[in-house]
Amino acid sequence: DDWWLVLPAAGMGRRMGADQPKQHLKVDQRTLVEVTLSRFIGLPGLKGAVLALAPNDELTPKLLASFSAFPLHFTAGGATRSDSVLAALNYLSGQLAVDWQHWVLVHDAARPCVRPADVHKLLEAVRGSNAGGLLAVPVRDTLKQADERNRVSMTVPRDGVFHALTPQAFRLGALADAMDRAHQDGVTLTDESSAMEHVGMKPLLVKGHADNLKITHPDDLPLARLILQAQSA
Ligand code: C5P
């Protein structure tokens, strides 16, 4: 099946403490957003990508000129991650007139270590479904619920509990409708699956790898470099 990639890359990366947005930080010779995009290029069925960028971001389109053979589109992101994703979905259905039945994979620009084999696995797993799915990994650590003074109030059972990762795969129309509904209902979304859940769908959890980390703090960058080296060895 044909599919499109949506990369929300409009975050300010304030937690990075750097003087530039994190998508501009270097992972190897390339920036974070370039490395992340390169993980997807060449996968079967990929028609193109829409990047949601901060409206004042002039650097990213220049950097990505290196992907000139690939159908790459840009749109202005919003105040929150889900605003940015919604802007990209509107671009796909509006400017690009992509069919509402097409698959869209939403992937954090800040996750450069995603394995192409896991993306493939996700696409195969959701094929033929309407609810879509997401990469996830079972929680490994023991979970504690804190009280208001950070004392343990209980141990949370972790059986069947997963960390939600990206990419997350949904049909364009179903996801756009679900996100619109969630926004109207005032639901805060930290991923796309939550929007589908809000409208009663049950996306499939597809086991990925814990090394698909999200670059959040400066300490994460050297770790990402090591992971990428280990993966290519
Ligand atoms: O801030 P966080 O780490 O949750 O961001 C996850 C992804 O969402 C990042 O790739 C970031 O650039 C993107 N994002 C966005 N628009 C926002 C906030 C975050 O596209 N307003």
Nearest residue to 119 (alpha-carbon basis) of 208, 184, 200, 195: 208
Residue 25's pLDDT band (cuts 50, 70, 90): confident
pLDDT > 90? residue 1: no
CA-proximal residue: ligand 1, atom 6 (nearest): 108
* From 12, 81, 111, 165, mutation site for ligand 1 pocket: most ligand atoms within 8 A of C-beta: 81
Question: In this predicted model, what pLDDT tens digit does every residue of 53-94 receive, in sequence order?
Answer: 999 898 899 999 889 899 999 999 999 999 999 999 999 999
Q: How far is the CA of 110 from the centre of ligand 1 (A)?
A: 8
Q: What domains appear along the chain, each with residue ranges and CATH number?
A: 3-232 (3.90.550.10)
What's the pTM?
A: 0.96
CA 140 to chain centre: 22
Above 0.90 for ipTM, yes or no?
A: yes
- What average pLDDT does this structure show over 157-173? 98
Give ligand 1 pocket residues (Cβ under 6 A).
8-11, 23, 52, 77-81, 84, 108-110, 214, 216
Q: Given the CA of residue 216, which atom of ligand 1 is nearest to it?
A: 3
Distance, in Å, from the CA atom of 38 to the CA atom of 46, rounded to the nearest integer, reads 12
DSSP 78: -
Question: In this predicted model, what pLDDT tens digit does every residue of 87-146 receive, in sequence order?
Answer: 999 999 999 999 999 999 999 999 999 999 999 999 999 999 999 999 999 999 999 999
